[in-house]
Structure 1
Amino acid sequence: MKKALIFQGGWQGHEPEQVAAILAGILREEDFEVKITNTLETLEQEDLTTYDLIVPNWTQDTITREQLNPLLEAVAQGTGLAGLHGGMGDSFRMETDYQFMVGGQWVAHPGNDGITYTVKINDPDHPLTKGMKDFEVTSEQYYLHVDPAVRVHATTRFPNAEGPYAANGEVDIPVVWTKKWGEGKVYYCSLGHVAEIVKMPEVIELMRNGMVWAAR
């Protein structure tokens, strides 16, 4: 049986406890043994290389080097990393090494919550998105600064809301991407502002496929 660690916490507006429970449920359906922790101290107290998958679910906040370095090293040695929205894409804003591993960082959500936008599936033959069709979401639309090395599987188009950024014209921003970090596989999905969005069938499918794919 594969082992997964979910660390949840940080800004409570993203409902980390509820989201962690949903993600843990998906993993248990896929025969993972899952541990959920609400302290970053776990990252320095345990041997993270014993996990096949680590799921960050911790928005903003800070992390010590004693906590971050074991995470970076575990993924480099082959532990998978997978997560969603701000729980993985807006964690530890001052830690560029973390952002380098993840492959991007949240910078804005023009129009805030309640924007209706389309998620375009770019890679319909990949196992992560096989058989999926484009779909609409009404939530935050994440504008991200993204590593050009990532492989993009789904995108969304800006602008949908007014703002000075719109002067640049239309641009497609990744919603789902993958990359490698050493021997480890990294998966990110920008959807999932709150638990109700994570419960969408399309998001459940993306996260199920992504977490299973990323696992060692």
Structure 2
Amino acid sequence: MPSPFEATTPGPGRTRDPDGHGARRALVVRGGWEGHQPVEATDMFIPHLAENGFVVDVHDSPAPYADPELMAQVDLVVQCVTMSSITGDQFTGLRAAVAAGTGLAGWHGGIADSYRECSDYLHLVGGQFACHPPKPEAERIGEESDNFVRHTINPTPDAADHPIMAGVGDFELTTEQYWVLADDYVDVLATTTQRVRDGDPWHREVTSPAIWTRQWGKGRIFVATPGHSLDVLRHPDVNLIIRRGLAWAARELAA
């Protein structure tokens, strides 16, 4: 199978550095709630970035976002920070970099449940984790698995030829099913539907975006809601979608 970085259409170009180096640069920002294993999760994809010509810089806080000189040279931000906090200058730097062409990509709570106190971040990303309804009460045993429900990820018909989703059909997962609040500026590539079960307080099915993209200025944003644990990230379809999503969001390095 060809590399997803070869199979997708890249974002807007950035000229080479003055020293002539041609490598693209990826900034991995990871941290926040440890339950999402931000170090181990991002370590799964860092080798893939390196194999496809990225110089990878890893940080454990969003502090680099506030450095405009650094961010001007970043072609892709891979963020894996659940909850936590971001300062005003850090967020402003991130948003400016994306508007100028830096790609922003991530999965699960590392991008869709970051920086809850910053509404401008929600505006940038376009969708926010609201909850992951657990199993019916009678089936719960007081462990993390109470939140793991069998559900389906359904690619949208319009996404059939999208470079991120091409060849991917419906697939099932047993993990957290994200109920997401989103706006209509997101380009939804796949959805998931929360059914109505006995005892649920909602009265009709609720469909949320599960995979989406967003264009912000010259930059591209990619979000995948599956990815709670390493086994989910290893699922063949989830893994492929994320690798393709990183490729799609990344800015092209012009000759």
**Range into which the TM-score falls when normalised by the shorter chain:** over 0.9
Task: Give the structure 2 partner of residue 34 of structure 1.
Answer: 56
Q: Which has the higher contact order (CA 8 A, sep 6+)?
A: 2
Contact 1:54–1:79 (8 Å) recurs in 2: yes
Task: Give the structure 2 partner of residue 141 of structure 1.
Answer: 177
Contact 1:10–1:59 (8 Å) recurs in 2: yes
**CA deviation map 1:41-83 (0-9, x unaligned):** 2222462121100011100011111211110100011101111
Task: Give the structure 2 partner of residue 173 of structure 1.
Answer: 208
The runs of at least 4 consecutive aligned structure 1 residues that moved more than 3 Å come to 160-165
Report the CA distance shift for 1:114/1:78 in structure 2 as closer, same or farther (over 3 A): same
Deviates more, 1:3-12 or 1:107-116: 107-116
Task: Give the structure 2 partner of residue 115 of structure 1.
Answer: 149
Q: 2:33 aligns with which of 7, 11, 24?
A: 11
Report the CA distance shift for 1:63/1:215 in structure 2 as closer, same or farther (over 3 A): same
Supply the distance in 2 between the matched residues of 1:160 and 1:128 (Cα, whole angstroms).
30
Task: Give the structure 2 partner of residue 132 of structure 1.
Answer: 168
Alpha-carbon distance, 1:26 to partner: 2.5
Q: Does 1:104 align with 2:127?
A: yes
| TM-score with structure 1 setting the length | 0.94
Contact 1:119–1:135 (8 Å) recurs in 2: yes
Task: Give the structure 2 partner of residue 214 of structure 1.
Answer: 249
Supply the distance in 1 between the matched residues of 2:167 and 2:110 (Cα, whole angstroms).
27
Supply the distance in 1 between the matched residues of 2:227 and 2:151 (Cα, whole angstroms).
14
Task: Give the structure 2 partner of residue 204 of structure 1.
Answer: 239
What are the ranges of 5 or more consecutive residues in structure 2 without an aligned counterpart?
A: 1-22, 135-145
Report the CA distance shift for 1:43/1:163 in structure 2 as closer, same or farther (over 3 A): farther
| TM-score with structure 2 setting the length | 0.80
Task: Give the structure 1 partner of residue 13 of structure 2.
Answer: none
Alpha-carbon distance, 1:195 to partner: 1.6
Percent identical across equivalent pairs? 38
Supply the distance in 2 between the matched residues of 1:178 and 1:50 (Cα, whole angstroms).
22
Task: Give the structure 2 partner of residue 85 of structure 1.
Answer: 108
Alpha-carbon distance, 1:171 to partner: 2.5
Larger Rg: 2
Task: Give the structure 1 partner of residue 3 of structure 2.
Answer: none
Alpha-carbon distance, 1:215 to partner: 0.6
Contact 1:110–1:162 (8 Å) recurs in 2: no
- How many positions carry a matched residue from both structures? 215
Contact 1:115–1:160 (8 Å) recurs in 2: no
Contact 1:117–1:160 (8 Å) recurs in 2: no
Alpha-carbon distance, 1:20 to partner: 1.1
**CA deviation map 1:111-153 (0-9, x unaligned):** 1522010111112211110011111111000000001111111
Alpha-carbon distance, 1:39 to partner: 2.3
Supply the distance in 1 between the matched residues of 2:83 and 2:198 (Cα, whole angstroms).
26
**CA deviation map 1:144-202 (0-9, x unaligned):** 000111111111111265564431x1122111001111111111000100122111111
